[in-house]
Amino acid sequence: MLTKAAASVSASVTAATATYSSSKSLLSLNQSHQLLCLKRLSSSHSISALGIKWRISNFRYNHKMETFRFTTKASAQPLKNADELIDSVKTFIFDCDGVIWKGDKLIDGVPETLDMLRSKGKRLVFVTNNSTKSRKQYGKKFETLGLNVNEEEIFASSFAAAAYLKSINFPTDKKVYVIGEDGILKELELAGFQYLGGPDDGEKKIELKPGFLMEHDKDVGAVVVGFDRHFNYYKVQYGTLCIRENPGCLFIATNRDAVTHLTDAQEWAGGGSMVGAICGSTQREPHVVGKPSTFMMDYLADKFGILKSQICMVGDRLDTDILFGQNGGCKTLLVLSGVTSLSMLQSPNNSIQPDFYTNKISDFLSLKAATV
């Protein structure tokens, strides 16, 4: 039996759907308000049926089909049998910050866990939204931390930006303006693209004198925005001019992460803050190539010939890592060693539920031992 609160939610959704079906004009007049109400209902109420807790989530309005639909997702379960999960997949995709390391500090038990998975013949791939480094630079970081990881196993959003441009046959006679750091520049260079901006524009300033008009390169065909510790008004204006005034100029974001781990002491404003500034000035939404976009998942599946159903995505963020795995049709494991706490996962306001959760990836070892 449904609880009274759940029955009320169900009745509200049914009534709204009936209202839409019988009077399309009412939706047109007050569509945004009705959708907002339904989204709030879907994200804030739980249904308990047959002793199983379910959360209404992922409400969508399909304009073409002119129908409402929502799906239910079972609440995440604590990982109890590591062997069962390990045996069910062939590839593990790991996020880095908050999973493998925090800042420049390796998380306990990581080397032994990776060695165990490799000994079982599992393919390991490391995917990070951090665009400040190239794959080669990340390879050096893994090496510094004592981890033996091949460059071909590393996929950073800096690489994803260059790979995306190659995938759409971006003209090599066009230029890319970069709001970001060295990692993006190195990957663009390796892919054979011309670029400008990046760290070189970090010290540039604009003198706002009467009648001053800022010039920009008319050959810029794409603006790539990533995390940038030298973000300034010059870059905002230059990128804005390119996107708004150069015909067909692309707006690409490496990611929209709200926060990042620059140190292990606290959270810092992430690449999403830089992307948000350009969204505000251009009134355009970017094409995101990092998580949770499926671009990197599709790229990996094609490159390695991996079936997505045989992949497990392991991450510490719900709205990037776990959503990335779910969007790609993979199994998902949330670790609580990064930005997401157990209370955040179990909050009634959270609609993103992984298949499993555990404290850290080294639980693969302890849970494995416990089940023998």
97 is catalytic: yes
CATH number for the domain spanning 317: value is 3.40.50.1000
The rounded distance, in Å, linking the Cα atoms of 284 and 125 is: 32
The rounded distance, in Å, linking the Cα atoms of 185 and 189 is: 6
In degrees, rounded to 5, the angle at the alpha carbon of residue 365 between the alpha carbons of residues 372 and 139 is 150
pLDDT value at residue 208: 87
CA dist 93 → 26, 133, 362 (Å): 46, 19, 15
Cis status, amide bond into 292, omega within 30 of 0: yes
Secondary structure class of 124 (helix, strand, coil): strand
Pair 181, 225: CB distance under 8 Å: no
Q: What is the DSSP string of 259-284?
A: EE-SSSSS-EE-HHHHHHHHHHHHT-
**Within a domain: residue 68?**
no
Pair 320, 329: CB distance under 8 Å: no
Q: Which long-range contacts (CB under 8 A, 24 or more apart) does 87-90 make?
A: 88/310, 88/312, 88/331, 89/122, 89/310, 89/311, 89/312, 89/331, 90/121, 90/122, 90/123, 90/306, 90/307, 90/310, 90/311
Which pair of tokens denotes residue 80?
């109890």
The tally of domains found in the chain comes to 2
Q: Which of 83, 95, 298, 321 is catalytic?
A: 95
pLDDT value at residue 217: 98
Query: What are 109's strand-pairing partners?
Result: none
The boundaries of the domain holding residue 107 are: 77-129+292-365
| Whether 301 and 328 share a structural domain | yes
Pair 367, 82: CB distance under 8 Å: yes
**Within a domain: residue 204?**
yes
| Whether 173 and 280 share a structural domain | yes
Q: Position of tokens 């989204």? A: 39
219 is catalytic: no
| Whether 198 and 313 share a structural domain | no
| Whether 170 and 272 share a structural domain | yes
The rounded distance, in Å, linking the Cα atoms of 234 and 239 is: 9
| Whether 197 and 170 share a structural domain | yes
pLDDT value at residue 73: 59
Q: Position of tokens 């995306």? A: 164
pLDDT value at residue 282: 98
**Within a domain: residue 333?**
yes
pLDDT value at residue 103: 80
pLDDT value at residue 199: 96
**Within a domain: residue 92?**
yes
End-to-end alpha carbon distance in the chain: 39
Q: Which of 237, 257, 288 is the last residue of a domain?
A: 288
CA dist 1 → 4, 7, 49, 291 (Å): 9, 9, 6, 39
Rg of the chain over Cα atoms, rounded to whole angstroms, equals: 23
pLDDT tens, the chain, 372 aa long:
444 444 444 444 444 444 434 433 333 334 444 444 444 444 433 333 333 333 334 433 343 333 333 444 578 999 999 999 999 999 999 999 999 998 889 999 999 999 999 999 999 999 999 999 999 999 999 999 999 999 999 999 999 999 999 999 999 999 999 999 999 999 999 999 999 999 999 999 998 899 899 999 999 999 999 999 999 999 999 999 999 999 999 999 999 988 887 777 788 899 999 999 999 999 999 999 999 999 999 999 999 999 999 999 999 999 999 999 999 999 999 999 998 999 999 999 999 999 999 999 999 998 865 544
Nearest to 129 by CA among 200, 193, 180, 201: 180
Q: Tell the burial category of 353 from Cβ atoms under 10 Å away from its Cβ (0-12, 13-18, 19+).
A: buried
Q: Which of 288, 303, 324 is the last residue of a domain?
A: 288
Which pair of tokens denotes residue 235?
């870059």
The rounded distance, in Å, linking the Cα atoms of 93 and 268 is: 24
pLDDT value at residue 256: 94
Amino acid code (one letter) for 37: C
Contacts of 4 (CB under 8 A, 6+ apart): none
pTM of the entire predicted model: 0.77
- CB atoms inside a 10 Å sphere around CB 199: 14
Q: Which of 256, 288, 320 is the last residue of a domain?
A: 288
Secondary structure class of 34 (helix, strand, coil): helix
pLDDT value at residue 265: 79
Q: Tell the burial category of 141 from Cβ atoms under 10 Å away from its Cβ (0-12, 13-18, 19+).
A: middle
pLDDT value at residue 369: 54
| Whether 194 and 265 share a structural domain | yes
